[in-house]
């Protein structure tokens, strides 16, 4: 879910809102452009094209504890991500995978105790959560929360305009934004009336994950962190979500995915697979590492019971 958006700024959906959106739907349905592979991100430029991929994220010896209990979770994580790369982090429950993702986006439940994180040449750990989102860092949550009373289109419009505003770009009005967001529904195989529903309220597991990828398509990201985007999905929903992710990957952005299962990697091919154990990345390889894990379990990779 998009980070750094002030929920207090949202309007509550009313019957009038719904009627207005149905009017927009009718007025724009005929001329609605088809979805394209390119993603319109406010921060994207034509500069620096070609040449070797740029360093996007560099994590060195990152350590973190739970803020309240001070229990150590991350114990020296090292990771390097360049533009255009797909990385996968795997590991047993409790190994620190989701904590690592949350620390990167600035979740308040965790406290940094050591190490450094450089993102696009900046000290990520000194940036507020909202500023990280504005800088192109996106996280799709393992269990997306429901926001009763907040329409999907209002949420997306607010998040999109918040980023444009920070970047000094003109905000899009409701009708302009509708024209921008409607084609992206095709990317995740969703119907237009999906925009009128409250955020994740009453959504199936597949709909919630599709909605997360829709947010990513609308907001754009230089680094998208997908935390177990495959959990709870049937094979058709998994294909839809994976196809959308593949279309969103460009030579200028990167994905960091967290998963337990090889099946996701059948649809989204990673360049690097990392195994996390006890708060550290202990082994890195290609997809063959995940294949060994699928067949023989973690003991075959770590050499010990984990």
Q: Contact, 73 vs 279, CB < 8 A?
A: yes
Tokens of 40: 């319109």
> pLDDT category, 208, cuts 50, 70, 90?
confident
In sign, the C-alpha dihedral spanning 99, 103, 107, 108 is positive
pLDDT at 23: 39
Average confidence (pLDDT) over 161-188 = 90
> pLDDT category, 1, cuts 50, 70, 90?
low
pLDDT at 302: 65
pLDDT digits (tens, 9 = 90+) for 227-256: 999 888 888 889 989 999 999 999 999 999
Buried residues in 154-192 as b, exposed as e (16+ CB within 10 A): bbbbbbbbbbbebeeeeebeeeebbbbbbebbbbbbbeb
What is the residue-wise DSSP string for 177-234? Answer: HHHHHTTHHHHTT--GGGGGSEETTT--HHHHHHHHHHHHHHH--SEEEEESTTTT--
pLDDT at 226: 95
What predicted TM-score, i.e. pTM, was given to this entire model? 0.81
Helix (H, G, I), strand (E, B) or coil at 118: strand
Average confidence (pLDDT) over 113-127 = 97
pLDDT at 300: 82
Residue 27 has pLDDT above 90, yes or no: no
Average confidence (pLDDT) over 90-119 = 96
pLDDT at 26: 43
Instruction: Kindly provide the residue ranges of all beta strands, DSSP E only, lying in the chain, ordered along the sequence.
Output: 55-66, 72-82, 86-90, 110-119, 122-123, 137-140, 147-151, 198-199, 223-227, 254-258, 272-277, 280-285
pLDDT digits (tens, 9 = 90+) for 46-75: 444 456 789 999 999 999 999 999 999 999
pLDDT at 24: 44
Residue 150 Cα to chain centre, angstroms = 20
Q: Which residue has the tokens 């500023």?
A: 131
DSSP code of residue 33: P
pLDDT at 79: 98
> pLDDT category, 5, cuts 50, 70, 90?
very low
The rounded mean pLDDT for the chain is 84
* Cβ count within 10 A of residue 300: 10
Q: Which residue has the tokens 């894990």?
A: 293
Q: Contact, 219 vs 251, CB < 8 A?
A: no
Average confidence (pLDDT) over 86-103 = 96
Average confidence (pLDDT) over 206-212 = 87
* Cβ count within 10 A of residue 95: 22
Q: Is 50 left (phi over 0), alpha (psi -120 to 50) or beta?
A: left
Average confidence (pLDDT) over 71-89 = 97
Residue 42 CA to residue 262 CA, distance in Å, equals: 34
Residue 254 CA to residue 223 CA, distance in Å, equals: 5
Poorest-pLDDT segment among 39-53, 140-154, 208-222: 39-53
Phi/psi at 225 (nearest 5 deg)? -105, 115
Packing angle of the helix pair 174-181, 15-29 (nearest 10 deg) = 60
Residue 68 CA to residue 54 CA, distance in Å, equals: 37
Residue 214 CA to residue 64 CA, distance in Å, equals: 31
pLDDT at 216: 94
Residue 138 CA to residue 252 CA, distance in Å, equals: 15
């Amino acid at each position: 879910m998009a980070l750094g958006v002030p929920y207090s700024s949202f309007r509550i959906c009313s019957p009038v809102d719904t009627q207005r959106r149905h009017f927009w739907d009718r007025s724009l349905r005929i001329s609605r452009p088809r979805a394209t592979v390119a993603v319109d991100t406010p921060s994207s430029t034509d500069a620096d094209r070609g040449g070797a991929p740029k360093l996007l994220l560099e994590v060195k010896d990152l350590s973190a504890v739970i803020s309240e209990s001070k229990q150590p979770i991350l114990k020296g994580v090292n990771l390097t991500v360049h533009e255009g790369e797909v990385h996968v982090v795997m590991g047993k429950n409790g190994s620190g995978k989701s904590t690592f993702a949350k620390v990167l986006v600035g979740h308040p439940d965790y406290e940094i105790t050591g190490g450094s994180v450089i993102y696009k040449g900046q000290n990520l750990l000194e940036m507020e959560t909202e500023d990280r989102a504005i800088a192109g860092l996106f996280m799709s949550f393992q269990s997306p929360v429901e926001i009763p009373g907040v329409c999907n289109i209002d949420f997306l419009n607010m998040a999109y305009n918040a980023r444009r505003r920070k970047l000094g770009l003109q905000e899009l009005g409701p009708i302009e934004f509708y024209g921008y967001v409607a084609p992206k529904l095709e990317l995740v195989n969703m119907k237009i009336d999906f925009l009128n529903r409250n955020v994740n309220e009453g959504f199936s597991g597949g709909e919630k994950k599709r909605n997360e990828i829709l947010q990513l398509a609308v907001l754009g990201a230089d680094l998208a962190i997908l935390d177990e985007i495959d959990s709870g999905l049937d094979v058709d929903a998994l294909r839809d979500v994976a196809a959308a992710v593949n279309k969103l990957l460009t030579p200028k952005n990167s994905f960091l995915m967290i998963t337990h299962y090889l099946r996701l990697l059948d649809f989204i091919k990673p360049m690097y697979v990392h195994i996390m154990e006890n708060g550290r990345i202990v082994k890195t390889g290609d997809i063959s590492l995940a294949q060994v894990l699928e067949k023989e379990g973690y003991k075959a990779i770590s050499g010990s019971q984990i």
